[in-house]
Amino acid sequence: MKVAGEHRRTIVASADGSSVEIIDQRRLPHAVVLVRLSTAADAARAIREMWVRGAPLIGATAAYGFCFAMRDDPSDGGIERARRELLATRPTASNLRWALDEMRIAVAALAPARRFEAAAARAAAICDEDARINQAIGRHGLSLLSEISGRKPAGESLQVLTHCNAGWLATVDWGTALAPVYMAHDAGLPVHVWVDETRPRVQGALTAWELGQHGVPHTVIVDNAGGHLMQHGKVDICLFGADRVTANGDVCNKIGTYLKALAAHDNDVPVYAAVPHPTIDWSMTDGLAEIPIEERDHEEVRMVGGAPLFPAQSPVANHAFDVTPARLVTGIITERGVCRASREGLLDLYSERRRA
């Protein structure tokens, strides 16, 4: 997508695959700062400290971290060590494990001398595939947005509510939940986005920055305003990304998503999650019981602008994600189409899973 009018991806590899350039998302929206990663430790730090965010981009960054490890230690022990250390960076997103498993498969049967080259090729392919997948998600989501917009009075904007950032900054390119919005805007469909601030990391600032770069009308709201807007008929669809979707359609996304889904259910507002296939965890069937929920540093909540917001003696909890049960999710948008949030719905799209 575009930064200052120029197209770029969120992660760009050097010609020989020995390093990548990323956007340090901690510095956005105030400055676009590019950082070079050239070791597995660099990649692990970028993921853990949220220089990169979003399940697909985390997976792509981990793939290159694994690649760098194969340059430095292509032994069998090096494979397992790289996978273990990168996997430990963040526990919730399904794409991280998927990407590392793909990388291990790509190199395990090869002689050590060939592993770095194969790893570089697979990491590049993962990035290219992510861009293609998200573009397809955008097309399928555009059809959905067009259908909903067609039921509104002529000239009235389609009102979309988002939570967290699921744009191109969260992926290699295009984004997941924002890809349909970009395509709708480019197709001339009148669309407006309500952007949740998404505390404590304020990923809504990234969404607002992205939408502004693309020229999409939007309004930033506090996290607890969504229900009020829905009660007053000002939201037509809630559109989220996800960090993990279980085989039965439970959706794990940024903390606060569940509350938006509850409000949407009470106000007959449809809720859709837009996800690429690596986000679907077919090994899990109960999101509440099985998905590991990351708990991050308490200081993310306690400190605002470098100053403490709460008394030092007050304990703080910082759960980074929550799980929205499938019963509250109208549907899931994937690169293969739109389906019900259920095992049957997902299997209709991924028929090879039904045969397995």
Q: Which residue has the tokens 């999650």?
A: 273
Give the whole-angstrom CA distance, residue 74 versus residue 111. Answer: 9
Q: Which residue has the tokens 């575009």?
A: 2
Whether the CB-CB separation of 276 and 102 falls below 8 Å is answered with no
Whether the CB-CB separation of 210 and 167 falls below 8 Å is answered with yes
Catalytic residues, by residue number, are 243
Our CA angle for 165, 168, 174, nearest 5°, is: 130
Give the whole-angstrom CA distance, residue 325 versus residue 311. Answer: 35
Give the whole-angstrom CA distance, residue 230 versus residue 308. Answer: 33
**CB environment 325-356: b (16+ within 10 A), e (fewer):** bbebbbbbbbbbbbbbbbbebbbebbeeeeee
Sorted by sequence, the CB contacts under 8 Å of residue 52 that are 6+ apart come out as: 10, 11, 22, 25, 46, 58, 61
Phi, psi (deg, nearest 5) at residue 267: -115, 15
Chain Cα centroid distance, residue 26: 16
Q: What is the DSSP string of 310-346?
A: S-TTS----B-EEEE-GGG--EEEETTEEE-SSHHHH
Give the whole-angstrom CA distance, residue 141 versus residue 333. Answer: 6
Give the whole-angstrom CA distance, residue 235 versus residue 263. Answer: 11
